[in-house]
Amino acid sequence: MSRRTPTHDHQISLDLGDSTNAAAATPPSDTTGHGPTADTTRPFADPDSMEKLLASWQEQDWIRPLDREFACLIRTLSEEQGEHPEPLLILLAALVSHQVGRGHVCIDLEALLGNAGETLSLPPEEATAPTPPNQPPALPRPDQLLERVSQDQCQGVLGAACAASNGGQATPLVLDNNRLYLRRFWRYEQRIAEGIRHRLEQPSPMADTTSVEARTLSSALATLFPAGDEVDFQKLACALAARNRFAVITGGPGTGKTTTVVNLLAALQAVAGASPGRRGRKFRIRLAAPTGKAAARLNESIGGAVSRLPLAELPGHVSQDDIPTRVTTLHRLLGSRPDSRQFRHNRDHPLLVDILVIDEASMVDVDLMASVIDALPASAQLILLGDRDQLASVDAGAVLGELCQRAGAAHYTAETADWLRSITGAQVPDSLRDDNGSAMDQAVAMLRKSYRFHQDSGIRILADAVNTNALDEALLAKARQGAFEDVAILSAGPDREHARNQICHHAEAGTPTAFHNNGEGRLINGQPLPPPVGYHHYLARLRDHALDADSPLADWDALARQVLADFSDFQVLCALRKGPWGVEGLNDLIANQLLERKLIPRAEGWYAGRPVLVTGNDYNLGLMNGDIGITFSLPWDRDESGQPKPTLRVAFPASDGTDTIRWISPSRLQQLETVYAMTVHKSQGSEFTHTCLVLPDRLSPVLTRELVYTGITRARHWFSLFAGDETVLKESVAQRVVRASGLAEGLWG
Ligand SMILES: Nc1ncnc2c1ncn2[C@@H]1O[C@H](COP(=O)(O)OP(=O)(O)OP(=O)(O)O)[C@@H](O)[C@H]1O
């Protein structure tokens, strides 16, 4: 995305003089500390000028204090080693730190110098207003500074600096080929790549199709997957994942990732049971997800899938107990310690596990993935599940996306295709074959058929169109005219007040009238589906219950479970945090609407009905980032005269797979926010019966194809879209998240 800001090319030509070599143009630093007056218009003049410019960028919120401090630290370290650090080195240090803050693992120097404006997104969108008259000239921008800098200069400056190395020394900066890293992030990638490569190299007893293990796998898969005419990609995925110590299964919503993994675990336990070497010993399997919410969702679906397994027909004497149904968060599994990035389980103290399955792996950043790899015994099998098209992790990296970047065309070799035919009986389509496919390609499987959404589902059609950048006017017009039974497009045009009213009413009631046939008459698996709802639904249940001070705790727990389930029937999602179309503006707007309709007693502070989202892990309370609770007014306490006194408590579901409710006093909750509106980022790993996606009326760098796709696919049965300006929607879909990283190169070469 290009940014339009006033240019000050004359300043840049001053910076770099008539030299084409910025580094060469840099005058020597004055080591007395009384060097040239620091001047932000001449940032390459000396380190002081560069630091001063970084301070100005920080003041303008272009970069974080951390970015400037890191750059200053690099300068200090260099000077302590007797070097005169080049201003370009200080600039690159600040920029690589800035990029990590934006989710990149490194800076690709070629991309940086090719298009610094797009690569760095600096200045940030909100700071791009033209400079008013009589104001001091705008600050030099990084892209202007880098305009005449070459890769050779960067390589030269970094190569000569004691603060940087190729990773062979313990330097804070690492230059690996053309990618500049903060050392910590370079190590994460190395550890992940090593862990994956090591697993891919390990021989599998199933590779030999005549082995007991391979024959058992084949027979188990034949039992688990009924024969059909089409290629069953779930069966292929199971076979590939069973063969490899590392495997990835990716697929869109409802393509059967959970179903596949349950079948896979059953097949693996059958193999363990039949394997002569294991003497009946089954695998120790753990299931985990990055957030409490994602863990709870998998918990909900996995139990049912396990109970439907034809265990008695499987070889290897597999029992229900052999397939775990409890899903934990990765942080709990690894044993997180308060205020520490270190986990209890690590290389020296690995997990007792043979197979680890991680669901919603797109949310796992490089730091956490490296910790997972460290904590796994070298022989343990790692299986990642997720949707490669979703938003990447909030923190740095896009591990799943990178691992799946070749998943569409698969690249299965003849050897893999022959093995799959022998184990599953299926012929891999020619379009998925490639004799140059790498070991990594053979470990990735993509599920290609949606079982949740039928062919005509608007949610599915919109999501596919977004993914393929085919969201055109004809499709939007069709959706607007109510051609899809599960999609409603609510547009209010340029009148903001009207738009706000429309969102308010929608949030309250879910506007079933905007849907085809008022949302009535739909059947899901033969069962009638109630029309879409808004927040009135859960608030009415909270208001109309008949419990009192004498009601047993179990009844309150049951009510809380029901209210929490009702709350998950609707969720407003938005792209931004700030502004009228962001979380903050929409939370206020919706709370005031609900107050006006007397559904809540107040719109600020704590009150019965307030839904809250936990925004940071609280190990003491056992709450995880992403957990959602609803505030209740409970008659449990008594006043001096012995009368019931209403007390506020927040009900949270347990995230350990049990249906326990935890009642927590608001005063104990530290990091949270009201959640009538939630960012799409926060909604990852969750699904809602009805999702309303609100897009702002201005394009911003946050609005990307991945964000829109993730927003749409959070909807289980109903999706409503509020896009004040549909061109913003179309332009968002054209923007992609590309995160710089070297993981793919480390694995594919
Ligand atoms: N092979 C299949 N045949 C028929 N129905 C299936 C098949 N696989 C999955 N389903 C059904 O499709 C629905 C979605 O399956 P599942 O929950 O496994 O998908 P998922 O990819 O894990 O979904 P999510 O998007 O929630 O992560 C479930 O109702 C499941 O029973």
DSSP 396-431: S--HHHHHTTTTTT--B-HHHHHHHHHHH-PPPPGG
d(CA 48, CA 718): 57
Q: Which of 18-32, 35-49, 369-383, 658-672 has the lowest mean pLDDT?
A: 18-32
With a CB cutoff of 8 Å and minimum separation 6, the contacts of 636 are 549, 644, 647, 649
What value does the mean pLDDT take over residues 393-410?
91
With a CB cutoff of 8 Å and minimum separation 6, the contacts of 599 are 508, 535, 536, 539, 540, 543, 609
Distance (angstroms) between ligand 1 centre and the Cα of 660 equals 26
**Best of 259, 309, 457 for a ligand 1 pocket test (most atoms within 8 Å of beta carbon):** 259
The average confidence (pLDDT) of the chain is 88
pLDDT of residue 588: 95
Q: Which of 29-43, 206-220, 467-481, 584-598 has the lowest mean pLDDT?
A: 29-43
Burial 61-88 (b: 16+ CB within 10 A, else e): ebbbeebbebbbebbebbeeeebebbbb
Distance (angstroms) between ligand 1 centre and the Cα of 257 equals 7
What value does the mean pLDDT take over residues 679-691?
92
Whether the predicted pLDDT of 151 surpasses 70: yes
Report the relative pairing of strands 285-289 and 327-329 from DSSP bridges. parallel
**CA–CA–CA angle 107, 711, 261 (5° rounding):** 85
pLDDT of residue 128: 44
| Ligand 1 contact, 41 CB (< 6 A) | no
Name the residue at shortest CA distance from atom 9 of ligand 1.
Answer: 256
What value does the mean pLDDT take over residues 683-695?
93
Give first-to-last CA distance, the chain, whole Å. Answer: 29
Per DSSP, the three-state class of 355 is strand
What value does the mean pLDDT take over residues 519-530?
91
CA atoms lying within 13 Å on the CB side of residue 136? 5
**485 within 8 A of 517, measured Cβ to Cβ:** yes
Distance (angstroms) between ligand 1 centre and the Cα of 557 equals 30
For residue range 462-482, what is the model confidence (pLDDT) as tens digits? 999 999 999 989 999 999 888
Whether the predicted pLDDT of 574 surpasses 60: yes
Name the residue at shortest CA distance from atom 8 of ligand 1.
Answer: 256
| Ligand 1 contact, 258 CB (< 6 A) | yes
Residue 10: band (very low, low, confident or very high) from pLDDT cuts 50, 70, 90: very low
Residue 549: band (very low, low, confident or very high) from pLDDT cuts 50, 70, 90: confident
Give the position, in ligand 1's atom list, of the atom nearest the Cα of 525. 29
pLDDT of residue 454: 86
Distance (angstroms) between ligand 1 centre and the Cα of 251 equals 10
| Ligand 1 contact, 256 CB (< 6 A) | yes
Whether the predicted pLDDT of 650 surpasses 70: yes
Q: How far lies 459's CA from each of 69, 168, 534, 706, 715, in Å?
A: 46, 50, 18, 15, 8
Q: Which of 114-118, 183-187, 238-242, 371-375 has the lowest mean pLDDT?
A: 114-118
Distance (angstroms) between ligand 1 centre and the Cα of 59 equals 50
| Ligand 1 contact, 452 CB (< 6 A) | yes
Q: Is 436 exposed, middle or buried (0-12, 13-18, 19+ CB in 10 A)?
A: exposed
**Best of 238, 258, 263 for a ligand 1 pocket test (most atoms within 8 Å of beta carbon):** 258
Report the residue count for the chain. Answer: 749
Residue 293: band (very low, low, confident or very high) from pLDDT cuts 50, 70, 90: confident
Nearest-10 Cα torsion for 40, 44, 46, 47: 80
What value does the mean pLDDT take over residues 534-541?
97
Residue 279: band (very low, low, confident or very high) from pLDDT cuts 50, 70, 90: confident
What value does the mean pLDDT take over residues 255-281?
94
pLDDT of residue 118: 85
d(CA 644, CA 636): 6
Residue 299: band (very low, low, confident or very high) from pLDDT cuts 50, 70, 90: confident
For residue range 362-387, what is the model confidence (pLDDT) as tens digits? 999 999 999 999 999 999 999 999 99
Whether the predicted pLDDT of 4 surpasses 50: no
Q: Which range has the top average pLDDT, 115-129, 490-504, 536-550?
A: 536-550
Backbone angles phi, psi at 618, to 5 degrees: -125, 100
Q: Which of 259-268, 319-328, 722-731 has the lowest mean pLDDT?
A: 722-731
> Hey, what amino acid is at 425?
G
Give the position, in ligand 1's atom list, of the atom nearest the Cα of 451. 12
Residue 655: band (very low, low, confident or very high) from pLDDT cuts 50, 70, 90: low
Residue 702 tokens, joined: 């946050």
For residue range 163-210, what is the model confidence (pLDDT) as tens digits? 999 999 999 999 999 999 999 999 999 999 999 999 999 999 999 999
d(CA 42, CA 44): 6
**Count of Cβ atoms closer than 10 Å to residue 652 Cβ:** 25
Name the residue at shortest CA distance from atom 12 of ligand 1.
Answer: 451
For residue range 420-462, what is the model confidence (pLDDT) as tens digits? 999 999 999 999 999 999 999 999 999 999 888 888 899 999 9
DSSP for residue 254: T
Rg (CA), the chain: 28
Residue 266's closest CA among 204, 319, 222, 304? 319
Residue 394: band (very low, low, confident or very high) from pLDDT cuts 50, 70, 90: confident
Residue 452 tokens, joined: 């949740």
pLDDT of residue 33: 36
Residue 729 tokens, joined: 């929607």
For residue range 619-648, what is the model confidence (pLDDT) as tens digits? 788 888 888 999 999 988 888 888 888 899
Between 80 and 44, name the one with better pLDDT: 80
Whether the predicted pLDDT of 28 surpasses 50: no
Whether the predicted pLDDT of 506 surpasses 90: yes
**398 within 8 A of 428, measured Cβ to Cβ:** no
Whether the predicted pLDDT of 22 surpasses 80: no
Binding site per annotation, positions for ATP = 251-258
d(CA 311, CA 421): 24
